[in-house]
Structure 1
């Protein structure tokens, strides 16, 4: 708990620590130690012991984000360890790693709540009803179709004809040509990206994952306290939180199911659904590799890239203000656990290889024997009998 009598510089760091601890202990946001924003208060009013409460889903979403963070960085020097002491130090800083943790946890909350809505696990929401749902419509030489949760109009150009002169014979020719144009059938495109083939019988149905509700609750929980401040670290954190939520929304894809006799596809039912969260995390990891270092602008209300020749970051990019520490050696101040005793791949030349992962400090080889099933055979009826074999395995670890 922060002491009100401490100096301003230390007090600012303490406020940052409290905001970061929400990810390590989501229930802390509901403790009445200070004024709670109304949006968080609405979430905290629900019974936390109820498994269907939004607060429980938020806690589950944060855990999902941390687990996937470990999965994405398991072969790197910084392996996104779940050790509380190390992660707390990472969240106190504003490095590239901090940006990813903030983005992946914000995405985890959105993803978990969106899935819970479509599964009927929350009484506050259901399937997303705001998406445009309609079949292909033809109206005045235009085709209206669904593309990536919004309506796009694809114009079908007609052959332009010259305006006839107002002479007697030319008027008759103009009328005849207009009649022919009205009777001429429209040449429609056969395929539209992201939607079923035009001409097939299909309709919007099923249950869309309610990603809009998930993003809104993620924003209410993580950003409500931050809106009161406008320093560079707050702006960066809000930007990375939004980038994580946007990654969830951008990963939505169309899924269809065929209906018909004898396996035929005479009718399609289509809806928008989320992929596995690993796919969302992989999208954010690509943004991690291309993250931009930013500084505050002159009036302090926004940020800009450190170099004038660097392309400004988009809404989907991750940003940071501090350089990453050295993760090769343990350091309590930065939260680095070092790479000692980390297992590496001797045959790889990538980041999981022994040369890169061990920071050129060398590695050691050990041999172990692992029991595994071998020489399996089928015995009628209905057993599978296997022998137990010892498999030799070489393990390389960093010194």
Structure 2
């Protein structure tokens, strides 16, 4: 959605503050760029990359007394996709007028999104042989659908950790704000500021709010009341 007055995209409004929503946008964007490049490489749509050529352990497997030989298929080149995503988003971050704290937050969440994609790789195999006897297999590593990747990042959004920036000599790092909570991991999302109440309109931020909006009480859909009326407040 584009504001007709400011010409800002709605995501620009979300990204202004260091909230968990901003953390989600950065993570899903980093994962999305890496995912698209990865799939395009595997499908031969890009000149500079192809299938992942790294060594795959395809030692013969024994199942029910039978030896199964596996051959290397076309694995998703996720490492190339990750490298492109990292270079692209880091270059974009350098041109933004963000505080050092926000840059640390954004870099962490970009990295977390990419790490989620790497950890989602799954081994897939296709059997060959007479009547499906699976005497031989072709195996490859593939990322799941982006919907599945997005669902994982959404779970990270729900469990995001509020952090603060600790300065030590010339270095700075992010640390959990509440020491009673668990430390965040490289794949956890982090945020600096609490989120506003998106139910209420905030004209300066360009947020219309959901208070008073019609919603569908019977369905868990995009217009469902559980989603439109945040936390069932309205």
TM-score over 0.5 for the pair: yes
Indicate how the Cα distance of structure 1 residues 323 and 118 shifts in structure 2: closer, same or farther if over 3 A, else same: same
Aligned twin of 1:209:
76
Please state how far the C-alpha of 1:338 moved relative to its aligned partner: 1.2
- For the 8 Å contact 2:71–2:136, the answer to whether it is kept is no
Unaligned runs of 5+ in 2: none
CA distance in 1, matches of 2:65, 2:76: 24
Does residue 235 (structure 1) correspond to residue 107 (structure 2)? The answer is no
SS in 1 for 2:140: strand
SS in 1 for 2:141: strand
Q: Any residues of structure 2 matched to 1:47-196 within 5 Å, and which?
A: 84-136=8-60
SS in 1 for 2:15: helix
TM (norm. structure 1) is 0.51
CA distance in 2, matches of 1:356, 1:230: 32
Indicate how the Cα distance of structure 1 residues 301 and 270 shifts in structure 2: closer, same or farther if over 3 A, else same: same
SS in 1 for 2:172: coil
- For the 8 Å contact 1:325–1:334, the answer to whether it is kept is no
SS in 2 for 1:294: strand
SS in 2 for 1:201: strand
Indicate how the Cα distance of structure 1 residues 203 and 263 shifts in structure 2: closer, same or farther if over 3 A, else same: closer
Q: Any residues of structure 2 matched to 1:221-370 within 5 Å, and which?
A: 221-224=88-91, 226=93, 231-299=100-168, 301-339=172-210, 340-346=212-218, 352-353=224-225, 357=229, 360-361=233-234
Please state how far the C-alpha of 1:213 moved relative to its aligned partner: 0.1
CA distance in 2, matches of 1:199, 1:101: 49
CA distance in 2, matches of 1:297, 1:355: 36
Indicate how the Cα distance of structure 1 residues 225 and 360 shifts in structure 2: closer, same or farther if over 3 A, else same: closer
Indicate how the Cα distance of structure 1 residues 354 and 205 shifts in structure 2: closer, same or farther if over 3 A, else same: closer
**Could you give the per-residue CA deviations for residues 41-82 of structure 1, whole angstroms, max 9, x where no partner exists?**
xxxxxxxxxxxxxxxxxxxxxxxxxxxxxxxxxxxxxxxx67
CA distance in 2, matches of 1:291, 1:278: 19
Number of aligned positions between the proteins: 222
Please state how far the C-alpha of 1:356 moved relative to its aligned partner: 8.0
CA distance in 2, matches of 1:82, 1:274: 32
Indicate how the Cα distance of structure 1 residues 313 and 342 shifts in structure 2: closer, same or farther if over 3 A, else same: farther
Which has the greater radius of gyration?
A: 1
CA distance in 1, matches of 2:71, 2:167: 49
Aligned twin of 1:50:
none
CA distance in 2, matches of 1:108, 1:198: 43
Please state how far the C-alpha of 1:260 moved relative to its aligned partner: 1.1
Runs of 4+ in 1 over 6 A off after TM superposition: 227-230
Unaligned runs of 5+ in 1: 1-80, 138-189, 192-196, 362-399
Please state how far the C-alpha of 1:330 moved relative to its aligned partner: 1.8
CA distance in 2, matches of 1:93, 1:360: 23
Over aligned residues, Cα RMSD in angstroms?
2.8
Please state how far the C-alpha of 1:323 moved relative to its aligned partner: 0.6
**Could you give the per-residue CA deviations for residues 82-118 of structure 1, whole angstroms, max 9, x where no partner exists?**
7754221111111000000000011000000000111
Please state how far the C-alpha of 1:357 moved relative to its aligned partner: 1.7
**Could you give the per-residue CA deviations for residues 160-205 of structure 1, whole angstroms, max 9, x where no partner exists?**
xxxxxxxxxxxxxxxxxxxxxxxxxxxxxx78xxxxx895413132
